[in-house]
Each structure stands twice: as C-alpha cells, then as structure tokens.
Amino acid sequence: MIVRPKGTKDMLPEEAYKWQFLERIAAETASGFGFREIRTPVFEHTELFARGVGDTSDIVNKEMYTFLDKGNRSITLRPEGTAGVARAFLENGLAGGAMPFKVYYLISAFRYERPQAGRLREFHQFGAELYGAEGAYADAEAISLADAFLKNLGLKKVALRINSIGCPHCRAKYHEALKAYFAPRLDEMCADCKTRFDKNPMRMLDCKEENCKKIASDAPRMLDYLCDDCRAHFDQVKNLLDLASVPYTVDPSIVRGLDYYSRTVFEFVSDAAGAQGTVLGGGRYDTLLSQLGSKEVPAVGFAAGMERLLMVMNAENAPFGKEIATECYLLGMDEKSREKAFLLATELRRAGVSAETDLMERSVKAQFKYADKIGAHCVAVIGESELSEGAAEVKDMKTSASEKVNFKELAQYLIGRRSL
C-alpha cells in the first residue's frame, strides 16, 4: 500500500466540518475588519523566498521544498504566505489602489521540518496582511484582528505576547551588543550559530539547540536598544491594545523565525499546541516590499497555524458548531417507490432541502440503517399505499414519531422543522 508522505495529513470527512468552521470564522472575522481575500500560487520562483523571507532564516536555509521544473527554473512550494502576497501586490500594481491594502488568505504551506505534534511538512495557515500604514494603529488593528479571530473560535486560554525588534537603524547597535556578548561563548555554540554570528546575530536568539538556548537566555534584549522612534511606536501599540482591551504581556525573547520583521512582533501561544506553543505569529515588516524592488511600503500582518488551532480547540473543548447532516432520507420500499423517492429527492434539493436516497438498491432495513449512520434528521418512507395516497410516512429519527406528509408539502414541512 502506498502511504502518505511523512509530515502530511489526510483531512477526513469526519474532521472536515471543523476545518470549515475555522475557515468560516476566519473569513467572517477578517471581513468584519475590512480585509478581502487574496489567492496566490502554491509555488513561486525560489528567489522570492530567498529575498523575502531571508537567507539567514531556517526556513530558507533548511526547510524549503525546492526543485527545478522542466524548464530548468528553480521553483519552491511556498513555506508561508507573506512573500507571495507582497509579490502579487507589486506585480499587479495594487499600490495605485485604495490604501491601506488589507487582505487575508487561507493557504497550505510547506516546510521540510522534523514532524511532531503540531509540526507538519504540509500545514495550513489563515493569514492577514495590511500595507501602506506605518503608524501604530495598523499594528494594533492586525493584532486586534488576530485576537478577535481566536475569541470568535471560542478560545479562552491563548495568550498574546508582544515585543519590538526595532528598525535597521537601532538594530545595528543591538547587533554589536549581541556580538560582544556571544563572542567569548561562540566556541560552545552550534555550527549554525557560528554562521548566524556573522550574518545575523539576532537569529542566535532563536536557535533550537539546548546549549545555544541556555547561552542566549542571558543575552542583551532588543528592548533596551530601541531608538526614540521605535520606542514611541511600541508604546503607542501597547496603548492602543489597552484601549481595545486586548490583553498582552511584553516578552523580550520574541524575535520570530523570519528575517523580514521590524518593530512590532507578536505571538499567540497556548500550552495545548504540543511542543509547538505558537498558534499564531506575526509582526511589522516595513522593508520586505522594498527588498522585492518596490519603493518602501510599510506592512504588518500575521498567520495562524490551522492544525495547531484545531489541537487547541479540541483541548479547550471549544465548539465547532454541528456537522450539517442530511435533512431527509427518501426511502423507496419497492421499484416504483424507489423512482418516486429519487424524484422527491431531486425536488427537495431544488427547494433548498438536503436530501439523499438509495443508490444501491438496498432493503428497507438496510436503508434505515444507512439513514441512521449518516445522521439524517428524517426518513420519508414511500411504499405502495403512500404512492396511492400521494403522501409519505415521515419518521423523525430522534423521537421515532411519524406522520403522513403530502408529497407536495414535503419541502415546506421539512423547512418548518428546522426551527424545532
């Protein structure tokens, strides 16, 4: 038997309604904030991610699904959504449209990581991006949208942590301080950190190796090196979050795993997301669009991991709504009634009522069993006498009560039952 590739998951019909719930809440919450949907390709030119996500990030260095296509182009399955949205924004000349530009997306993304609970090689994100606004209001709006989404899912135990990692200007000084701190300890650190030391010492704070983590825990904090503008920006973000009653804690250890961030960074974390505590992460990235060749366009956004959200929702017993079951199963007892059942099912569907009927020429008993298995609300039984009366015997599958309903009134009758 051929099995699915490591780090991927099948989304079975039993789970699908949970995904649909997550996706619906995501779309509704984003629309409520004036964000519109965007869909971009699953694969892009490799260079987009190398330039966009950054060549000192683990994602670009170790985790990308990159291959040469038949035209010898280097192609990469998207490891995240932000770079593709930025490319689409520039390529389609959207900077000339209404600003701020606010979009959301529901995507699959691919990273060659070591799979574990909450960490997959193909995973799904709900993300949102906001372009054109450099002030703290935009950061607060992005964070508020993320917070509203999690609240609308019914989650209560997800905590928001925020930090500022400054701008390229103040970060230069911080890098010097980090290098001074790490230099005498560099021998004890992993090979990756030795490279990071030269290329981007802030990445050393994000190393997953235990020993490196220990050394990094006492490193200088970016918050102590913020320039006046970055500090004022961060203070205003905090004020606006207070104003919007979005609770947070400042966590100076958050640096994020992608290179494009500046100023505000944030993560929503939960104990229930396995070893991978972060269910949603994001921040401001004012230099990404100019790195892709445009003039500077300030930007802020986030993405939530849907698989991790599902884990947290299950752990918190959050409600997914109900799976929509078939409203009426039409049961034909013999050949002639079977045809009538087929016709009635067609008519019910045209009237907007969900209906199923026998496709396997089963016995009455087997049809009842099937209707029960699929959770049909009612079974409309049609036999010889029902055909001559022009009415079906409609059985409520929960109470077992039944009543005769005229064929012509069946749709209205079933619609009327919805409020029961």
Binding site for ligand HAM (CB under 6 A): 80-82, 111, 113, 118-120, 123, 125, 127, 129, 257-258, 278-283, 285, 301-305, 307-308
| Beta carbon nearer to ligand HAM, 260 or 413 | 260
| Beta carbon nearer to ligand HAM, 54 or 201 | 54
CB of 208 to ligand HAM, least distance (A): 13
C-beta atoms surrounding 325 within 10 Å: 14
Nearest CA-CA partner of 56 in 282, 259, 337: 259
| Beta carbon nearer to ligand HAM, 113 or 251 | 113
Contact by Cβ (8 Å): 81, 46: no
| Beta carbon nearer to ligand HAM, 113 or 323 | 113
Give CA–CA dist 358/80, Å, rounded: 44
> Which two three-digit tokens encode residue 56?
């000192």
CB of 183 to ligand HAM, least distance (A): 29
Give the list of residues 6+ apart from residue 11 with CB closer than 8 angstroms, or none.
19
CB of 309 to ligand HAM, least distance (A): 8
CB of 88 to ligand HAM, least distance (A): 14
Nearest CA-CA partner of 67 in 84, 51, 45: 45
Nearest CA-CA partner of 147 in 75, 67, 247, 226: 247
| Beta carbon nearer to ligand HAM, 44 or 307 | 307
| Beta carbon nearer to ligand HAM, 29 or 125 | 125
CA distances from 120 to 56, 60, 94, 291 (A): 21, 16, 33, 29
> Rg of the Cα trace of the chain?
28
C-beta atoms surrounding 87 within 10 Å: 21
Could you check whether the bond before residue 13 is cis, i.e. omega within 30 degrees of 0?
Answer: no
Q: ∠ CA(191), CA(196), CA(202), 5° rounding?
A: 135
CB of 68 to ligand HAM, least distance (A): 24
Give CA–CA dist 43/356, Å, rounded: 39
Phi and psi based region of residue 132 (left: phi greater than 0; alpha: psi -120 to 50; beta: remaining): left
CB of 266 to ligand HAM, least distance (A): 9
CB of 226 to ligand HAM, least distance (A): 20
Q: How many residues does the chain have?
A: 420
- Using Cβ positions, the residue closest to ligand HAM within the complex turns out to be 305
Q: ∠ CA(65), CA(71), CA(76), 5° rounding?
A: 15
| Beta carbon nearer to ligand HAM, 112 or 342 | 112
CA distances from 384 to 358, 389, 391, 409 (A): 17, 9, 11, 19
| Beta carbon nearer to ligand HAM, 166 or 332 | 166
| Beta carbon nearer to ligand HAM, 204 or 344 | 204
> Which two three-digit tokens encode residue 197?
């030391």
CB of 54 to ligand HAM, least distance (A): 11
CB of 11 to ligand HAM, least distance (A): 14
Contact by Cβ (8 Å): 42, 77: yes
| Beta carbon nearer to ligand HAM, 166 or 305 | 305
Q: In a 3-state reduction of DSSP, which class is residue 192?
A: helix
CB of 199 to ligand HAM, least distance (A): 19
Amino acid at 3: V
